[in-house]
């Protein structure tokens, strides 16, 4: 099967809750069940270190100590603090520089769109959001990639472990510099309310949660526009999110024995909420396997739901819209993504593209 065929292959239809040996987890896939799991933080905890049965190989990863992995009341306190500075206004203020960076990256045409466009655009946006100075951007790219990749099996590799700790130490030094000489952005605004390690954990979390996800949304949008060139612009980003969600699923850990749709899940179990499958639930979406940018409403779960709903959703969707506009200006007319220009990593959880060429047809 080609890379594109794999990406566009429809996921298994949603069904009853089932234990999956491969993930050692209970998989929840119906839209209503995913909403139930993500909406009930008391029974389904996000705190893997407290409720996970096995020690996570990536337990040093700061994300496991920060916002997405916290339960209330600490979650609420930290979320309130971040929401106070990561406002719609702060996001709108970034838009002109996102558009400017996109145009600069596309001088000379589109060419390679992952490493050459989507990833550097996302990194520059995160650096701007956080308040990292342009001189540190090259290092910031390296830290972002090392930190984002430190999860799952990668975290067991000693070389990656050493690099991860080294880059994290450099990021900590950089955060100290930003706090000492503030020039706007989230870091100085958060520094007053958090101690240094909490701040490092949070900054790392924003990098991990914001970089690969948004990069993937942009290249998924390119693939969708190649395949469905007539898709209208309004509603396009939301339908790309539904059809090819950048985050296919998320995990929870049961704090008690709990029933989901007639199935009893024991206490201390890992639960995977399949966003990918819930987004194709025929009880919620008419013709779920059709790509239809005119869907309204489009209640996809690609940004999660409940107390952990994505904090960066507005930034991510806005950035993707700007990226598509800039790509359309750079490559007018119908698009072609040659299969032979695709470099991808294929794993049981999905397909990651590292290189992809975009040309006019």
Q: Give yes or no for residue 218 binding ligand HEM (CB under 6 A).
A: no
> What is the total residue count of the chain?
361
79 or 277, CB closer to ligand HEM?
A: 79
246 touches ligand HEM (CB under 6 A): yes
| Residue 304 touching ligand HEM (CB under 6 A) | yes
CA distance 79 to 86: 10
Q: Is 312 in the site for ligand HEM (CB under 6 A)?
A: yes
Q: Does 310 bind ligand HEM (CB under 6 A)?
A: yes
Residue appearing with tokens 């970034």:
94
Residue ranges with strand state E in the chain: 18-20, 25-28, 44-45, 111-112, 249-254, 258-260, 263-265, 270-274, 335-336, 343-347, 350-355, 357-360
Calpha distance 250→239 (Å, rounded): 20
For ligand HEM, the closer of residues 47 and 292 by Cβ is 47
Q: How many residues bind ligand HEM (CB under 6 A)?
A: 24
Comparison of 321 and 331: residue with beta carbon closer to ligand HEM: 321
Q: Which of residues 51-110 bind ligand HEM (CB under 6 A)?
A: 67-68, 79
In this structure, the number of other CB atoms found within 10 A of the CB of residue 120 comes to: 18
Q: How far is the CB of 245 from ligand HEM (least distance, A)?
A: 6
CB 280 within 8 A of CB 13: yes
From the list 4-12, 23-31, 52-60, 311-319, the region that binds ligand HEM by CB under 6 A is: 311-319
Among 191-199, 206-214, 283-291, 347-355, the segment contacting ligand HEM (CB under 6 A): 206-214
Contact status: 7 vs ligand HEM (CB under 6 A): no
**Residue 217 touching ligand HEM (CB under 6 A):** yes
The yes or no reply on residue 29 touching ligand HEM (CB under 6 A) is no
What is the sign, positive or negative, of the torsion defined by CA atoms of 63, 64, 69, 74? negative
With DSSP H G I counted as helix, E B as strand and the rest as coil, what are the percentages for the chain, rounded to 5?
55, 10, 35
The C-alpha atoms of residue 4 and residue 234 are separated, in whole angstroms, by: 24
For residue 159, the minimal CB distance to ligand HEM (Å) is 28
Among the listed residues 38, 199, 223, 321, the single contact to ligand HEM using CB under 6 A: 38
Q: Does 224 bind ligand HEM (CB under 6 A)?
A: no
Residues 6+ apart with CB under 8 A from 262: 16
29 vs 46, beta carbon nearer ligand HEM: 46
**What are the C-alpha distances in Å from 67 to residues 19, 25, 85, 254?**
27, 22, 15, 18
Which residue stretch of 284-292, 301-309, 332-340, 345-353 sits at the interface with ligand HEM (rule: CB under 6 A)? 301-309
User: Nearer to ligand HEM by C-beta: 146 or 319?
Assistant: 319
Find out whether 288 and 189 touch, Cβ atoms under 8 Å.
no
Q: Which one among 52, 131, 210, 350 touches ligand HEM, defined by CB under 6 A?
A: 210
- The answer to whether the CB of 45 falls within 8 A of the CB of 258 is no
Q: Are 171 and 203 in contact (CB under 8 A)?
A: yes
Whether residue 166 contacts residue 62, with contact meaning beta carbons closer than 8 Å, is answered with: no
Q: Does 143 bind ligand HEM (CB under 6 A)?
A: no
Among 105, 168, 206, 269, binds ligand HEM (CB under 6 A): 206
Site residues (vs ligand HEM, CB under 6 A): 38, 46, 67-68, 79, 205-206, 209-210, 213-214, 217, 246-247, 250, 302-304, 308, 310-312, 315-316
């Amino acid at each position: 099967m080609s890379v594109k065929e794999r990406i566009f292959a429809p996921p298994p239809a949603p069904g009853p809750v089932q234990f999956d040996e491969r993930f050692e987890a209970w998989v929840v896939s119906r839209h209503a069940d995913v909403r139930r799991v993500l909406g009930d933080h008391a029974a389904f905890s996000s705190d893997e270190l407290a409720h996970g049965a096995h020690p996570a190989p990536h337990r040093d990863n700061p994300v496991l100590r920060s916002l997405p992995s916290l339960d209330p009341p600490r979650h609420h306190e930290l979320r309130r603090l971040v929401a106070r500075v990561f406002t719609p206004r702060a996001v709108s203020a970034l838009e002109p520089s996102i558009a400017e960076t996109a145009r600069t990256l596309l001088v000379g045409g589109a060419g390679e769109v992952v490493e050459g466009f989507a990833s550097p655009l996302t990194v520059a946006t995160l650096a701007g959001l956080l308040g990292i100075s342009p001189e540190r951007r090259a290092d910031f790219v390296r830290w972002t990639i090392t930190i984002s990749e430190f999860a799952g099996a990668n975290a067991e590799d000693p070389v990656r472990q050493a690099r991860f700790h080294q880059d994290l130490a450099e990021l900590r030094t950089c955060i100290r510099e930003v706090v000492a000489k503030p020039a706007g952005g989230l870091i100085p605004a958060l520094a007053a309310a958090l101690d240094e390690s909490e701040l490092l954990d949070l900054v790392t979390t924003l990098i991990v949660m914001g970089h690969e996800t948004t990069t993937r949304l942009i290249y998924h949008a390119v693939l969708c526009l190649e395949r469905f060139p007539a898709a209208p612009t309004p509603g396009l980003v939301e339908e790309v999110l539904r059809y090819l969600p950048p985050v296919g699923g998320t995990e929870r850990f049961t704090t008690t024995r709990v029933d989901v749709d007639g199935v009893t899940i024991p206490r201390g179990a890992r639960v995977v909420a399949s966003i990918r499958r819930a987004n194709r639930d025929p009880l919620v979406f008419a013709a779920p396997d059709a790509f239809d940018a005119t869907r309204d409403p489009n209640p996809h779960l690609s940004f999660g739901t409940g107390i952990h709903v994505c904090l960066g959703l507005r930034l991510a969707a806005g950035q993707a819209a700007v990226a598509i506009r800039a790509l359309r200006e750079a490559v007018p007319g119908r698009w072609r993504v040659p299969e032979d220009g695709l470099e991808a990593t294929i794993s049981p959880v999905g397909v990651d593209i590292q290189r992809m060429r975009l040309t006019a047809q």
